[in-house]
Structure 1
Amino acid sequence: MTTIEKSVDVRVPVTTAYNQWTQFESFPGFMEGVEKIDQLDATRTHWRTKIGGVVREFDAEITEQVPDERIAWRSVDGPDQAGVVTFHRIDDITTRVHLQMDYDPETLTEKAGTLLGIVEGRIKGDLDRFKEFIENRGDETGAWRGEVPRAPQAGETASPGSRGESLR
């Protein structure tokens, strides 16, 4: 597994940055190689990507979502990946968006791209384009303020009341 961490400071309030990030169908507007994302239900999305001429389709699920704080996900099928994006209030008009992604490069081309820093550069570029997208708009294209509670991990037990509403 390879881990990449990148951050970008955007000149919008934390709620605006978070709200825009919940609009997954807008990702092709700033994420290189993402052709389309369909929201299947409250926690599942279907992705179509084209990177280096290779088209991939896969489903991902949101594993945790806390408004104005974090959105975590993992792939359900296709490429093995998981990640979390967090939102940090710097001041009233600046938010740090921090992305951590774990993925397992499958093909020789993907492994080479990882070693050469191409994937890391693409993620940094996506965050920079998100910054430009949201700062130029000044407001979000939509929002979802619901929560998806983190499921207990192996060896943990759920605390009473920790399972909340997770429908959009």
Structure 2
Amino acid sequence: MATVQESIDVAVPVTTAYNQWTQFESFPHFMGGVESVVQQDDTHLRWTTSVAGQTREFDTVITEQLPDQRIAWTSLDGVEHAGVVTFESLGAGETRVNVEFQWNPESATEKIGAAFGADNAQVKSDLKKFKEFVENHGATGAWRGEVDPGPVGTTF
């Protein structure tokens, strides 16, 4: 399993950063390789990605969601992965966004890329684009509901 951990400070209140992150269908605006995300219901997402000429479709489920604090997910099919995004208030107008996930690279290209940190570099770039997006546009929507992880909890 490969592990990715990246953080960025954004100059918006924690509620604004969190609210924008809940707008999953906007991810193609700031995530490289993400062609589309379709939110099927409160917890299920259908992703289409294109990386290194390879298009993939897969489903994820949100396993935990606490407004202004965290969103955790796991894959249901496709490449095995799970992770969490947390939001830390650094004051009235600044938030630290932390992304951590684990994934199981399958192809030789994915394994080589993970070994050389390409996945970390992509997430770092995506977070910079998220910062620009949310600082320039604010939140384009919000979902303030909670998803309870239940008695088992999440990996992260």
Name the TM tier (shorter chain): over 0.9
| Percent identity for Structure 1 against Structure 2 | 55
1:8 is matched with 8
Q: Deviations over 1:10-36 (max 9, x none)?
A: 000000000000000000000000000
2:97 is matched with 97
1:64-79 pair list within 5 angstroms: 64-79=64-79
2:111 is matched with 111
Q: Deviations over 1:70-128 (max 9, x none)?
A: 00000000010000000000010000000001100000000000011111100100111
In the alignment, the residues of structure 1 paired with residue 27 and residue 113 of structure 2 have an alpha-carbon distance, to the nearest angstrom, of 22
Unaligned runs of 5+ in 2: none
Tell me the TM-score normalised to structure 1 length.
0.90
**In structure 1, what residue type is equivalent to 2:44?**
R
**In structure 2, what residue type is equivalent to 1:75?**
S
Q: Which has the larger radius of gyration?
A: 1
Tell me the TM-score normalised to structure 2 length.
0.96
1:149 is matched with 148
Q: Deviations over 1:32-78 (max 9, x none)?
A: 00000000111000000000000000000000000000000000000
Higher RCO, Cα 8 Å, sep 6+: 2
TM-fit CA distance, 1:152 = 2.1
2:37 is matched with 37
Q: SS of the residue aligned with 1:145?
A: coil
Unaligned runs of 5+ in 1: 155-168
Aligned pairs, number: 153
TM-fit CA distance, 1:3 = 1.1
Q: Please list every run of at least 4 consecutive aligned residues from structure 1 whose deviation after the TM superposition is greater than 3 angstroms.
A: none
RMSD: 0.9
